[in-house]
Structure 1
Amino acid sequence: MHFPAAGIEVAPWIPVAVAFGISLVTSMGGVSGAFLLLPFQMSVLGYTAPSVSATNQLFNVVATPGGVYQYVREGRMVWPLAWTVLAGTLPGVFAGAIIRVALLPDAASFKAFAALVLLLIGARMVRNLLAERRGQHSAGETGARSARVHVLQTCMRSIAYEYQGQKYSCSPRTVFALSLVVGILGGTYGIGGGAIMAPFLVAIIGLPVHTIAGVTLMATFATSVAGVAFYQALAPFYPHLSVAPDWVLGLLFGIGGLAGTYCGARLQKFVPAQALKWMLATVVILTALKYLVDFVG
């Protein structure tokens, strides 16, 4: 099947299957899987035009609602934290889209930028895992089969909630500031920002992964909607570039991702978080190193 905007040919079942497999695993950590889907599109399918970022965000729009629904249904959505993350990432996405089109239109420079973003993600994951090995992880990392979130406080100074008998808190101002930076990076890279935000919330702020997964998936969905709309609006101003998303390809990825995030959210409470994060950290770092080698070469 030919995809004109992407300029590639691929069997339609391949995007569905790849997106399902990626999202099934990554959604358990609050990540849609777009940060792994982008290297697949660029390196395997050969889709390197600027519109690959918009297509990646279209995947997020279609894929993430399944996981968000399941986390809300199970009572593991921290709504005050979700609104704070969303308030920061949303404006950053617009700035990121402009950076991608105006400053990083060619594949070589984009791969270098993507490598740096992926290395940041991998570093955050490794830091979290090393903290867990030293016994510094929270009780929310395991045994989450029936636990629900209970919000205790929401104000300008603190968001506090209880989960599995443990109290967790964070500064809304800190979360907002980080979310703004993540939004810019996510908008440029086409990942929605959850792949960076999720490891930070767990490794640095110390929140349990079973309570932040729904938060980051929801923020990814909302910012990706804005990102797709913005890329589509920018397209007429760059007629010499492929800027708007490849709608058919993005929808095929999204269909697979929707099933994957829903199943991943259902399975998350049964799977040890540490094993999943070690696997993700390895994949992210190896992908980043490959991009750096491609750029230097």
Structure 2
Amino acid sequence: MDFLTIVFPISGVRTSVLVPPLFAFVLSFFTSMGGVSGAVLIMPFQVSILGYTLPSVNSTNLLYNIIGIPGGVYKYIRDKKMVWPLTWVIIVGTIPGVFIGYYLRVKFMPDARTFKLFIGIVLAYVGMRLLTGALAKKNVSASKSGSFIVTNARFTLKRVEYEFMGEKVSFSTAGMFALAFIVGIIGGAYGIGGGAIIAPFCVTMFNLPVYTVSGPALMGTFITSVFGIIFYSLIPVSGVTSGPDWLLGFLFGIGGFAGMYLGAKTQKHMPEKWIKLILSVIFMFIAIQYIYKFF
């Protein structure tokens, strides 16, 4: 089927037009259940498999988020699992972090070798946090009694509180903001959107149910990805901008849209422990490959 193979004009990537949407669909189906858009793994796919190592690969990844994430977010809102106070704390904290991360990527990590090491370190840490969370005794079961929707969400400058599955959940507003800012820097440099990897930290550091973190994390990733595209496309560093490969990003995005919608729809049938385990195995496998190859 050589007639489906094209060379993408901006990135120079040569592949079948079916590869990006199919890969994004399968990946995002599983990752969206845990509040991860899939961009965290589409990045190494672009770098290692497609050979796309220019700084513009970051903004292409962000374009995938912008097109793909609404599918999952719509489903989480419809199912009343969107914790809006958590969503806004993530957004406000990650936007300035994304800008700092963008500057660090373009200014100090333009070469592929250093960038792959950075990816490996980030994925290893996130994978370990997920694994320890999955092995912990406390994991919410999708079959547990209680309403499978978020209710009574309240916000103050000190704490955010809400109820889910018959239990009251709360966390420090300042603590979540600080986490979002740090994750935003990592996400901006990685090209995955500020909130793309915040869900595992919310689950393991703040003990929030993964079912209620997924929607806010995806929404935060969507909003910060919009800002990220603007930073990469319009703000030059050393006289150079790094806008996305629009066609490649679009193809990844349409696959992600379908995958995230189905993933969000399937989430309530998947035990929290297995969501964490699936993500941790994927993250750790890629991390080991990148860190090993660097040395």
- TM class by shorter-chain length? over 0.9
Equivalent of 1:136 in 121, 133, 138: 138
Match of 2:260 in 1: 261
Match of 1:180 in 2: 181
Equivalent of 2:102 in 97, 100, 118: 97
* Worse-superposed segment, 172-181 or 228-237: 228-237
Confirm whether residue 114 of structure 1 aligns to residue 119 of structure 2. yes
* Worse-superposed segment, 115-124 or 248-257: 115-124
Confirm whether residue 18 of structure 1 aligns to residue 23 of structure 2. yes
Name the SS for the 2:110 alignment partner: coil
Structure-2 separation of matches of 1:245 and 1:232? 7
Name the SS for the 1:153 alignment partner: strand
Conservation of the 8 A alpha-carbon contact between 1:144 and 1:269: no
* Worse-superposed segment, 99-108 or 119-128: 119-128
Match of 2:294 in 1: 295
* TM, length-normalised to structure 1: 0.93
Q: CA deviation at 1:143?
A: 4.1
User: Counterparts of 1:162-201 in structure 2 under 5 Å?
Assistant: 162-201=163-202
Q: 1:41 to 1:16 in 2, by over 3 A?
A: same
Conservation of the 8 A alpha-carbon contact between 1:143 and 1:269: no
The C-alpha deviation readout for 1:112-161, integer Å capped at 9, x for no partner, is 11111111111210121121xxx223x46554896211134311111111
Name the SS for the 1:77 alignment partner: coil
Counterpart amino acid of residue 218 in structure 2: L
Conservation of the 8 A alpha-carbon contact between 2:150 and 2:162: yes
Give the unaligned 5+ runs of structure 2.
Answer: 1-5
Counterpart amino acid of residue 175 in structure 1: M
Q: 1:188 to 1:121 in 2, by over 3 A?
A: same
The C-alpha deviation readout for 1:261-284, integer Å capped at 9, x for no partner, is 111111111122222321221111
Structure-1 separation of matches of 2:231 and 2:171? 31
Conservation of the 8 A alpha-carbon contact between 1:58 and 1:251: yes
Conservation of the 8 A alpha-carbon contact between 1:162 and 1:168: yes
Conservation of the 8 A alpha-carbon contact between 2:180 and 2:195: no
Match of 1:55 in 2: 60
> RMSD value over aligned CA atoms?
1.7
Structure-1 separation of matches of 2:23 and 2:290? 20
* Worse-superposed segment, 164-173 or 4-13: 4-13
Q: 1:123 to 1:236 in 2, by over 3 A?
A: closer
Structure-2 separation of matches of 1:94 and 1:246? 20
Structure-1 separation of matches of 2:145 and 2:221? 23
Confirm whether residue 28 of structure 1 aligns to residue 33 of structure 2. yes
* Worse-superposed segment, 277-286 or 83-92: 277-286
Structure-2 separation of matches of 1:66 and 1:125? 24
Q: 1:155 to 1:236 in 2, by over 3 A?
A: closer
Confirm whether residue 204 of structure 1 aligns to residue 205 of structure 2. yes
Q: CA deviation at 1:86?
A: 0.7
Structure-2 separation of matches of 1:147 and 1:83? 22
The C-alpha deviation readout for 1:200-226, integer Å capped at 9, x for no partner, is 111121111111100000000000010
Q: 1:110 to 1:73 in 2, by over 3 A?
A: same
Q: 1:190 to 1:144 in 2, by over 3 A?
A: farther
Q: 1:236 to 1:99 in 2, by over 3 A?
A: closer
Give the unaligned 5+ runs of structure 1.
Answer: none
* TM, length-normalised to structure 2: 0.94
Match of 1:275 in 2: 274
* Worse-superposed segment, 213-222 or 194-203: 194-203
* Worse-superposed segment, 254-263 or 191-200: 191-200
Q: 1:227 to 1:48 in 2, by over 3 A?
A: same
